[in-house]
Structure 1
């Protein structure tokens, strides 16, 4: 066919109309979440209906749940006042009512908050004592700035210090976070020395909005057959949050922060069905572990960061991902296996995000939103692997003879501590 007629055909009014309709359809699908959010955002009445979920009453006898066993509950808090009351504290107390005070130990660590967090946790400590709950609620007055200064004073030749692109040695963030999470496990070690460390689950909880029902559902994931089971966390109504730690069953990062999150394969299929999602790693606000790896006499499972010599190549891995990489082989109970994300347990770092997910979970807006996500991620082949990460890791292995089991956790980032928090460099 001659070139000129082809150009005329492509520029015909009918084809221009088709193209415009196609572009409009694509634009609508890609932004459908905005339309749906405004059309179906819950009203104030919905907030009132959900408020009863955190209606803690110590005088009421609550039916116990069975088959979960003893649970060691661990939580770090820093400037969490907006979440603690009424959501986090009441959610925890109502959870303990259902599990039974004699079946839990609570370990909380807080340091340097400048809001109401310390006062709220002291009130919680008193209520836990009234309930007869064994616990350690450790509140330290040291601020983040003082904590960093204390480590700096020890000298920059210690582990955790690396030369950064800013031309100076700086203190890495992840090893510090690993240390703080391990502090939550100090009472567990003492309980073991006393012969009282026979726990079935270790439950780590971030400063998120949750209900007792959510946690019970999480603990019962796959009838308890898991090495770890995670919730799904949201900071915005339709965008899941923990991209740093979540890896699908193939060890890949999520393809999108919107439902169904994963590229094609086992993880996406399970997510679409509402079944427990097989993954290699997750944290996502709340995570329940089989306790056995943490209570082994030999090499108990603990949090860590990657080696400094690997980090200096501008690589980093979340301690919440590396813990799963280390939780293999002899650490794992024979009757419990696999890391799973429970799509029916969704938590939020604020109430609007939690409310939206609770109301719209597996409703038609969510499935509608999934259409452009599934099409788009397939068309452009998300998630894209960062080849730089693999090359740097291979070079490090060759030069040092070292190894990193959590290679799927690595990202092309470097995090360092600063006086008021942390930053990318």
Structure 2
């Protein structure tokens, strides 16, 4: 009995202190002088521990999987809490759980693979310690004859090989799941979203003043206010576009005002970078030319302020002309590939083309966009309820629309220019006006007898009304968003959910129709 006691103590000596205590209790319960009736607790504890060890191969992986899944779920809810105002049809719970599961499986596989390796190492150490103890006491499993010791070794070897085989299978499966996560991470980009990635990379690697586009001169305009989170990304992507278009073919005009978060400082730094690149530009920071209304809720004072600020960003174009296209960007996350995609829509055969801004309820700027028949649209894919637009979006082709803006837009510059600065040659215009009589358009608020609309709606409306420019498209490939978390979600195609329902701002019974299409009943 003394030898048995020593074997237990020697085996337990390689364990932590708490495990040594457990081994001591089990040993105590097995001593001849100890009655199982007198010590039922020890017996129950031994049975429970035995069951735990025997079922650990199943219970531990299940618990680990549950833990990893709950961890990712908590991470998700930290970004999108229940009170975030998500529109559930645009964020179906089944798809959210699928995304979390796609992250859980590779992580769980990696943890399992590491666990198998650690278990194998621990097992080798334990067996080595046990064999050392047996050799020290001159016995092996209580077997004294050589033949019995040989059979005992063979039995242990068979068990070890069988265990190693199962461990190897578990290891291979776990590593495969972990590698599937690596594969998903490396191939997450949808090829259709990066059709011009190679051209942009070439432009960055081998820059030239004439660029790699078709020589079209592009006037890039934007306005910012407290956009510190967006600015580094936006500047990086616009700089790529500059390399692609060529410094000879770009003008950058930005208006920033009333910021307190460092937006102005970032733009000041970029101002110096543009000087080094030789890009013509005018960046107004800390600008207070246009008084900002105290109340920026959706009303005429807000629209008048935004109209005047956008017109201020266009001043260098209106004063000197010389550019074919205006590229006007809101404060959105967007990739350079998407901007090139926008400019190449329909091989350049357009008068105006818009991106697709997506947020918590799907399509964000439903106030501006109208389908080609002037009707209201849905905030959920495929956004349009009429056949031509719906089919175009489903095929990822530009959809014809009456009006749009949606985060970023490109349009022909001539209608904004004084007649003396317009390029010679015919261009669409109203049949009742000659070129000399057609005044330039600009951003404006709605007239008293018009549908109350944003300045972004009135620009394409005026392009049609005054210049008969009706080649206006929304390109569903040009995804952008005002917040990074929504941008990633929709950019990866997670937010596709088809529901046929119009997005109406106000009472649906009060929607009315004018020559600009359906009017939201504010």
The normalised TM-score by structure 1 is 0.67
> For the Cα contact (< 8 Å) 1:232–1:341, is it kept in 2?
yes
Alpha carbons of structure 1 residues 339 and 48: separation in structure 2 relative to 1, 3 Å: same
Q: Give the equivalent residue in structure 1 for 2:99.
A: 40
> For the Cα contact (< 8 Å) 2:221–2:313, is it kept in 1?
yes
Q: Give the equivalent residue in structure 1 for 2:248.
A: 102
> For the Cα contact (< 8 Å) 1:56–1:93, is it kept in 2?
no
Distance in 1 (alpha carbons) for counterparts of 2:493 and 2:372: 26
Alpha carbons of structure 1 residues 58 and 114: separation in structure 2 relative to 1, 3 Å: farther
Matched, 1:351 2:499: no
Q: Out of 105, 124, 136, which is 2:282 matched to?
A: 136
Matched, 1:213 2:213: no
The aligned length equals 325
Distance in 1 (alpha carbons) for counterparts of 2:271 and 2:474: 31
Q: How far 1:34 moved relative to its partner?
A: 2.3
Distance in 2 (alpha carbons) for counterparts of 1:59 and 1:32: 37
Alpha carbons of structure 1 residues 68 and 241: separation in structure 2 relative to 1, 3 Å: farther
Structure holding more strand per residue: 1
> For the Cα contact (< 8 Å) 1:81–1:116, is it kept in 2?
yes
Distance in 1 (alpha carbons) for counterparts of 2:230 and 2:353: 23
Q: Give the equivalent residue in structure 2 for 1:5.
A: none
- Structure 1, residues 51-81: CA drift from partner, whole Å, max 9, x if none? 999x999984347422250000000101111
Q: Give the equivalent residue in structure 1 for 2:408.
A: 286
> For the Cα contact (< 8 Å) 1:325–1:405, is it kept in 2?
no
Q: Give the equivalent residue in structure 1 for 2:389.
A: 267
Distance in 2 (alpha carbons) for counterparts of 1:69 and 1:279: 24
Matched, 1:61 2:206: yes
> For the Cα contact (< 8 Å) 2:511–2:518, is it kept in 1?
no
Distance in 2 (alpha carbons) for counterparts of 1:350 and 1:47: 21
Alpha carbons of structure 1 residues 215 and 304: separation in structure 2 relative to 1, 3 Å: same
- Secondary structure of the residue aligned to 2:461 is helix
Q: Give the equivalent residue in structure 2 for 1:245.
A: 368
- Secondary structure of the residue aligned to 1:280 is strand
* Larger RCO of the pair (alpha carbons < 8 Å, separation 6+): 1
Alpha carbons of structure 1 residues 212 and 59: separation in structure 2 relative to 1, 3 Å: closer
Q: How far 1:142 moved relative to its partner?
A: 3.9
Q: Give the equivalent residue in structure 2 for 1:173.
A: 302
Equivalence map 1:405-416=2 (5 Å): 406=516, 408=517, 410-413=519-522
- Structure 1, residues 267-295: CA drift from partner, whole Å, max 9, x if none? 11211111110111111111000122122
Q: Out of 257, 262, 267, which is 1:121 matched to?
A: 267
Distance in 1 (alpha carbons) for counterparts of 2:98 and 2:207: 38
Q: How far 1:40 moved relative to its partner?
A: 2.3
Structure number with larger C-alpha Rg: 2
- Structure 1, residues 74-114: CA drift from partner, whole Å, max 9, x if none? 001011110111x1010111110110011001110011011
Q: How far 1:204 moved relative to its partner?
A: 0.5
Alpha carbons of structure 1 residues 128 and 49: separation in structure 2 relative to 1, 3 Å: farther
Q: How far 1:202 moved relative to its partner?
A: 0.5
Cα RMSD (Å): 3.6
Q: Which runs of 5+ in 1 are unaligned?
A: 1-28, 153-163, 165-169, 192-196, 394-403, 414-425
Equivalence map 1:319-358=2 (5 Å): 319-328=455-464, 331=467, 337-358=470-491
Structure holding more helix per residue: 2
The normalised TM-score by structure 2 is 0.56
- Secondary structure of the residue aligned to 1:177 is helix
- Secondary structure of the residue aligned to 1:328 is helix
Q: How far 1:209 moved relative to its partner?
A: 0.9
